[in-house]
């Protein structure tokens, strides 16, 4: 008995093998170059696939997976959409968040839901490493310890933290270390984040530096180690769900906070309430939720999430999909530059005759700041600088706007490319492959169909 053959949709074929998809759509010679399809049946076939003519088809790179196939919402007419994502059903959360894992609970925010200057709590992404602890009760009685390489061990309640130190409020990006992991080929291990493992909220708390100064750092103090109340997934009380740390200079930055409020409200339990760390610019795993203790160490911390390839990137480039050599890895610190389009959303359809499109979005990076944001409507052949707003404070994201022409009806891809203050810009594809998929920050692009 022979097995029946299951045909893939064109969208699935582009996801799996873009060069093969080129060959199917444009003919056998298309693998070498798409220039052969600019006139005739090839171009017509691609237009049919994406839902309209392609005004800038001569600039479309060979092997490019069309943005129309990148998300289920944008699947063209006549083509089956990819498997619909599982959306989040959680009290107080926007139902548009996409669940990436349920044990532990992980959910990302689609780019179009990051259109607010300050990310609402309901739209803020969720990242857990262990079980969600029961942190109900009287928040001000929650206790936090500071020990290790200090002259004065501290045992503070949240109430004492609030009354003893001067609070600060900053609007700052918090970003998962694995944000962008889904863009790596071959696929890296872990939750397949696109660009939605980030948000920019107003955080209120006290500078960690003030608390460490009160504890009195010894000359031997080199590194922090963070511990929370979240139980290990196994339930084994001897294991930490996560225990990461940072060099003392990063801990002493004024924007590294011990936080108890988010957007002016008590910090929700799902986001680490009643108190957590917020360490902006570096992987969100440093910003420990349900904070119970900070130990100061005389060496680099080696807790859960600090060794092997966990939250670490390759020093020397490795073969994508190759075997990792732990000695070739360093700790992931400052996050890479990233820009996204937040309006319109991918798959937007505009009325026939629309000749301009207003874009807006956000850009951010780790420690350096954003220098400029550029947009393209012709597959990156030409770029136009976007207008940017000044951030409120360091580590705030930069909101940007732009207007692009739409010369005729048809299929367009809008691309955004952010550049940081050191001159580094987003690449076309995710580079520096590593087994855990850190640092994937290719240009964001959306599909728009006019008429």
CATH number assigned to the domain covering 107-331: 3.90.420.10
Beta strands in 215-269 (DSSP E): 223-228, 257-262, 265-266
Q: Is pLDDT of 6 > 80?
A: no
pLDDT band at 133 (very low <50, low <70, confident <90, very high): very high
**408-435: pLDDT as tens digits:** 999 999 999 999 999 999 999 999 999 9
Rounded to two decimals, the pTM is: 0.92
Helix (H) or strand (E) holding 320: none
Q: What SS3 class is residue 394?
A: coil
Q: Is pLDDT of 194 > 90?
A: yes
Quote the pLDDT of residue 11: 64
Q: Is pLDDT of 75 > 80?
A: no
Closest CA to 227 of 298, 284, 289, 140: 289
Length of the chain as a residue count: 451
Buried b (16+ CB within 10 A) or exposed e, 171-207: bbbbbbbbbbbbbbeeebebbbbbbbbbbbbbbbbbb
CB-based contact 373:400 (threshold 8 Å): yes
Give CA–CA dist 432/443, Å, rounded. 15
CB-based contact 106:127 (threshold 8 Å): yes
Give CA–CA dist 7/79, Å, rounded. 12
Of the listed ranges 15-19, 45-49, 105-109, the least confidently predicted one is 15-19
Question: Distances in Å between the alpha carbon of 377 and those of 101, 331, 359?
Answer: 34, 37, 11
Could you tell me what percent of the chain has a pLDDT over 70?
A: 89
Beta strands in 105-196 (DSSP E): 105-108, 126-127, 143-148, 154-157, 168-175
> How many Cβ atoms are within 10 Å of 103's Cβ, its own excluded?
9
Quote the pLDDT of residue 388: 98
Quote the pLDDT of residue 333: 98
Q: Is pLDDT of 223 > 60?
A: yes
* Start-to-end C-alpha separation, the chain: 48
DSSP label at residue 52: S
Q: What SS3 class is residue 208?
A: helix
Q: Between vectors from CA 122 to CA 119 and to CA 123, what angle results, nearest 5°?
A: 50
Of the listed ranges 34-38, 164-168, 296-300, 305-309, the least confidently predicted one is 34-38
Quote the pLDDT of residue 403: 98
CB-based contact 198:111 (threshold 8 Å): no
pLDDT band at 46 (very low <50, low <70, confident <90, very high): confident
CATH number assigned to the domain covering 338-450: 2.60.40.650
Quote the pLDDT of residue 9: 63
Q: Is pLDDT of 30 > 90?
A: no
**353-409: pLDDT as tens digits:** 999 999 999 999 999 999 999 999 999 999 999 999 999 999 999 999 999 999 999
pLDDT band at 36 (very low <50, low <70, confident <90, very high): very low
pLDDT band at 76 (very low <50, low <70, confident <90, very high): very low
**261-280: pLDDT as tens digits:** 999 999 999 999 999 999 99
Question: CATH 2.60.40.650 occupies which residues in the chain?
Answer: 338-450
Pairing state between β 198-207 and 257-262: antiparallel
**278-328: pLDDT as tens digits:** 999 999 999 999 999 999 999 999 999 999 999 999 999 999 999 999 999
Closest CA to 275 of 285, 261, 265, 264: 261
Average pLDDT, whole number, for the chain? 91
Quote the pLDDT of residue 291: 98
Instruction: Give the tokens for residue 109.
Output: 């925010």
Quote the pLDDT of residue 79: 40
Q: What SS3 class is residue 141?
A: helix
Give CA–CA dist 361/418, Å, rounded. 11
Instruction: Give the tokens for residue 117.
Output: 């200057």
Select the more confidently predicted residue: 222 or 70: 222
Question: CATH 3.90.420.10 occupies which residues in the chain?
Answer: 107-331
Mean pLDDT of all residues in 243-251: 98
């Amino acid at each position: 008995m022979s097995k029946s053959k299951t045909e893939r949709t064109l969208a699935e074929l582009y996801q799996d093998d873009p060069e093969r998809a080129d060959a199917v759509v444009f003919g056998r010679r298309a693998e070498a170059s798409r220039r052969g399809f600019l006139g005739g049946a090839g171009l017509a076939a691609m237009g049919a696939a994406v839902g309209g003519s392609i005004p800038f088809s001569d600039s479309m790179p060979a092997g490019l997976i069309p943005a129309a196939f990148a998300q289920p919402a944008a699947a063209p007419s006549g083509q089956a959409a990819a498997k619909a994502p599982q959306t989040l059903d959680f009290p107080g959360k926007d139902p548009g968040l996409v669940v990436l894992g349920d044990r532990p609970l992980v959910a990302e925010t689609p780019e179009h839901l990051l259109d607010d200057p300050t990310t609402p709590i309901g739209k803020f992404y969720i990242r857990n490493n262990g079980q969600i602890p029961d942190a109900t009760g009287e928040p001000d009685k929650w206790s936090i310890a500071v020990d290790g390489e200090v002259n004065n061990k501290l045992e503070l309640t949240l109430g004492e933290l609030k009354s003893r130190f001067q609070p600060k409020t900053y609007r700052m990006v918090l970003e998962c270390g694995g944000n962008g992991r889904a863009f790596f080929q071959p696929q890296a291990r872990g939750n397949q984040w696109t660009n939605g493992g980030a948000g920019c909220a107003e955080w209120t708390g006290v500078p960690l530096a003030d608390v460490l100064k009160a504890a009195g750092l010894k000359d031997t103090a080199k590194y922090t180690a963070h511990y929370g109340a979240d139980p290990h997934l196994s339930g084994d009380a001897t294991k930490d769900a996560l225990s990461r740390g940072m060099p003392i200079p990063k801990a002493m930055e004024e924007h590294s906070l011990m936080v108890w409020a988010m957007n002016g409200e008590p910090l929700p339990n799902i986001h680490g309430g009643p108190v957590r760390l917020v360490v902006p610019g570096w992987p969100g795993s440093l910003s420990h939720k349900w904070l119970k203790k900070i130990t100061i160490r005389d060496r680099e911390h080696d807790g859960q999430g600090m060794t092997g390839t966990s939250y670490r990137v390759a020093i020397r480039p490795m073969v994508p999909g190759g075997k990792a050599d732990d000695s070739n890895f360093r700790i992931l610190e400052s996050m890479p530059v990233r820009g996204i389009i937040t309006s319109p959303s991918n798959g937007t359809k505009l009325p026939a005759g629309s000749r301009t499109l207003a874009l807006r979005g956000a850009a951010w990076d780790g420690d350096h700041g954003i220098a400029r944001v550029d947009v393209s409507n012709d597959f990156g052949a030409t770029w136009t600088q976007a207008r940017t707003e000044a951030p409120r404070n360091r580590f705030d994201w930069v909101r940007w706007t732009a207007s692009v022409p739409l010369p005729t009806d048809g299929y367009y891809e809008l691309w955004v490319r952010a550049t940081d203050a050191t001159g580094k810009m987003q690449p076309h594809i995710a580079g520096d492959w590593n087994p855990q998929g850190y640092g994937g920050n290719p240009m964001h692009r959306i599909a728009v169909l006019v008429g």
